[in-house]
Amino acid sequence: MGKAIFKQRNGVFGVGIVTPCGLITPEQLGGLSKLLPEVGALGSKLTTRQTLIVLIPEEALERFAAGVTALGLDIGSFGDIVRNVKGCAGNSSLCMRSLSEAHGLAVEIQKKFMNQPTPHDFKISVAGCHRGCTDPLCADFGLIATGPDTYDVYIGGRGGSRRPQHGQKMYSSISSDAVFVVLDHLLKVYRSLGEPAERICSTIKRVGIDPFVLPEGELPKEEPSNDFFDFLND
């Protein structure tokens, strides 16, 4: 695992800043607007995975990293690890289409799992509805909300590739608590069965999906609640 700092063709360095699934506060944005000119940044670029790449001269890297940390942001990591999580703007305050607190869940997953070692890079996407703005079917582990706290789980998607493929549905409408249990199990099995540099979709192809599925009874189950049902019968 290395830091997400990449030398560019023109000699400057692209530094990847990780956010809580794309959310940047006004204070952080204001801080960056001061920090970037101070360190002589040539520019910045938003990435498809909700990070911000800033172009920095080599001699300013250390100063920039310190400034980023002071703003409560992080320099990302790179390599065969669980990457930062892509999360949509789905929650009770933002996107009106969202069925759940998808963004909050994505942030919690990122906090718990990001940077864990894996045989190959492992990407997670969370979407608050079937529209899937974060492309959950193209991630190694994708979640799509189906209700206030229920998610369909897809595994083995591969977006950026010469052989792109969609993930396959592993669980239907499980709770956010169950998502953590499922992901923890999945990563343990992947670390155990995956060959070095083998993407999880290839591991699944080689050994089948069964080892990745939690045995019946080990999946936390909760009584589903339906707010509208109560409203209708009120």
Partner 1 sequence: MNAQNDYDFHGIRQNLEHLCLNGEICTGCEKNRCLVFFSKKVADYAMNKNVFTIPQGCSMIPKQDLKTYHEDELIESLSLVLQQCKDCRDNHDDDCSVNLIRTSLEYALFGDSLAYRGSTTIYFIDAHNANNRIGKLLKDKFMESKNK
Of 96, 160, 216, 217, the one binding partner 1 by CB under 8 A: 96
Contact region with partner 1 (CB under 8 A), list: 8-16, 164-172, 207-215, 223-231: 223-231
Q: If DSSP codes are grouped into helix, strand and coil, which group holds residue 11? A: coil
Rounded CA-CA distance 62/39 in Å is 10
Please, which of residues 117-156 interact with partner 1 by CB under 8 A? 129-131, 146-148, 150
Nearest to 148, CA basis, from 125, 175, 172: 175
Per-residue interface string for the shown chain with partner 1, residues 8-47, x marking contact by CB under 8 A: ----------------------------------------
Beta-strand relationship, 77-78 and 5-7: unpaired
Asked whether 142 and 136 are in contact (CB, 8 A), the reply is: yes
Per-residue interface string for the shown chain with partner 1, residues 99-118, x marking contact by CB under 8 A: x-------------------
Q: If DSSP codes are grouped into helix, strand and coil, which group holds residue 106? A: helix
Rounded CA-CA distance 5/14 in Å is 6
Contact region with partner 1 (CB under 8 A), list: 25-33, 69-77, 96-104, 189-197: 96-104
Of 97, 165, 166, 180, the one binding partner 1 by CB under 8 A: 97
Q: If DSSP codes are grouped into helix, strand and coil, which group holds residue 83? A: coil
Please, which residue, 55 or 95, has the CB nearer to partner 1? 95
Please, which residue, 195 or 222, has the CB nearer to partner 1? 222
Please, which residue, 98 or 118, has the CB nearer to partner 1? 98
Rounded CA-CA distance 180/202 in Å is 23
Q: How far is the CB of 134 from partner 1 (least distance, A)?
A: 15
Residue 223 contacts partner 1 per CB under 8 A:
no
SS3 content of the chain, % helix, strand, coil (to 5): 30, 25, 45
Residue 229 contacts partner 1 per CB under 8 A:
yes
Rounded CA-CA distance 76/7 in Å is 15
Q: How far is the CB of 137 from partner 1 (least distance, A)?
A: 13
- Contacts with 230 (C-beta within 8 Å, 6 or more apart), sequence order: none
Contact region with partner 1 (CB under 8 A), list: 23-31, 164-172, 195-203, 222-230: 222-230
SS (H, E, C) 218-230: CCCCCCCCCHHHH
Instruction: Summarize as ranges the residues that interact with partner 1 (CB under 8 A).
Output: 96-97, 99, 129-131, 146-148, 150, 226-229, 231-233
